[in-house]
Structure 1
Amino acid sequence: MNKKKKDTRWLASVALMMAIVILLANTPFGMIQLPVIKATTVHIPVILGAILLGPLAGSILGATFGICSMISNTVAPTLLSFAFSPFMSMTGLVGVVKALWISVGCRSMIGLITGWLWIFFKKVNLNGLIALPVTGFIGSMVNTVFVMGSIYLLFASQYADAKNVGIDAVWGLIMVTVTASGIPEAIVAAILVALIGKVMQRLVN
């Protein structure tokens, strides 16, 4: 396959995965009801795209996820939308930049880190039966840790006000979210990336 055809195929594949991200972000399919919480699945095509198409594609897909999140938090704001929408900023231009980092930057990191992690696993010849779920788990945790960690570092006081708690309670609330929501989401991602990734690799190859 010549370079032009390869580039065209790559662009088409990225566009298809972007459509899947947008679909999941705007329909109930983007959430899976677990016994206690709802686990998001929007980051799963980001992880799969990074595995199949590389870190750059993963970053683009992650940014797409982030833009969808930004739009959602702008159109249908919640108590924490100030951390995801630059249009809901309560601290001026600085808040705009912080919100853009959390909504778009952190999500781009999912694809970037996942893509490079997959490249590393390929170089060390890690078995795909292990590499796929591990990549899915870590990719999902990147989302949770980067987003919640950035909220703690950049919006701790606003987060405390939104939750009506003292500033010293913010770290505990962040850790509860990481544990109660992030870990179940990562387990779901590990399973789905392992199952879907194996099939998609066969189709691509």
Structure 2
Amino acid sequence: MNRPKQTSRLTRMGIITAILLIQNMIPFLGNIPIPPLNPTIIHVTVIVVALSMGMKDGMIAGLIWGLIRLFRAFAMPATPLDPLIWVNPIITIVPRLLIGTTTVLTYQLLHNKVRNNKLSMGVASFIGSMTNTLLVMLFIYLFFNAEIGQAMGIDASNLGYALLVIIVTSGLAEAVLAAVLAPIVVQALKRLRR
């Protein structure tokens, strides 16, 4: 990569890092506080990065988001569950890293088959968002079943059902939001680059 392109990419990643920090630190810009969890819209930023800049940058944006979330769990938890859930890097970082990967791979697969850019981006955004939701819920269930159930006031044997409700309600809403917003933002960014 030549120097001007490298500088441009580094500048864009710096701006994206600032956006992710702002979304994580200012209520209602990145999370919608509905106890006991915080549904997020930050994944849309990661998806936009993946679709507009590529898989590697999408993974970097996901890593940055995960690291910020990990820091927040220790320094300024938003809910009583934060210190139980988000201090585990597997829960905090792995799903976010994979948002960029699944988004780009899905987009490439669909774009080559259906040749409809908006549809390909929308479905890829939905899949990227659900990747995050499903992996976070799976890891919560695997790593913290009894503790989380107790903190939520749910019998440990019912935690799986509670997490399924979160997936069906919050997770699907987040995914639909991503499927609608991300393609619009990506197309606007592409027009600005011309």
Q: Shorter-chain TM-score category? A: 0.7 to 0.9
Give the CA RMSD over aligned residues: 2.2
Runs of 4+ in 1 over 4 A off after TM superposition: none
Indicate the SS of the match to 2:93: helix
Give how far 1:110 is off. 1.0
d(CA) in 2 for partners of 1:201 and 1:141? 25
Q: CA separation in 2, counterparts of 1:55 and 1:167?
A: 37
The CA deviation string for residues 69-117 of structure 1, in whole angstroms up to 9 with x for no partner, is: 11222223333222211xxxxxxxxxxxxx0111112211112221222
1:114-135 residue CA offsets vs partner (Å, 9 max, x unmatched): 1222333343363112112112
Corresponding residue of 2:69: 69
2:147 alignment counterpart: 158
- The whole-number CA distance in structure 2 between the counterparts of 1:8 and 1:44 is 24
The correspondence of residues 124-139 of structure 1 with structure 2, limited to 5 A, is: 124=113, 126-139=115-128
8 A Cα contact 1:39 1:184, kept in partner: no
Give the superposition deviation at 1:51: 0.7
Q: 1:8 to 1:119 in 2, by over 3 A?
A: farther
Identity of aligned residues (%): 27
* Partner residue in 2 for 1:94: none
Which residue of the partner structure matches residue 116 of structure 1?
Answer: 105
What is the match of residue 12 of structure 1?
11
Q: TM-score, normalised by structure 1?
A: 0.82
Q: Which residue of 2 aligns with 1:89?
A: none
CA contact (8 A) 2:133 2:167 kept: yes
Cα distance between partner residues in 2 of 1:19 and 1:121? 31
Residue type at the aligned position of 1:79 = P
- Letter of the 2:24 counterpart: A
Q: Which runs of 5+ in 2 are unaligned?
A: none
SS in 2 for 1:202: helix
Q: Which residue of 2 aligns with 1:203?
A: 192
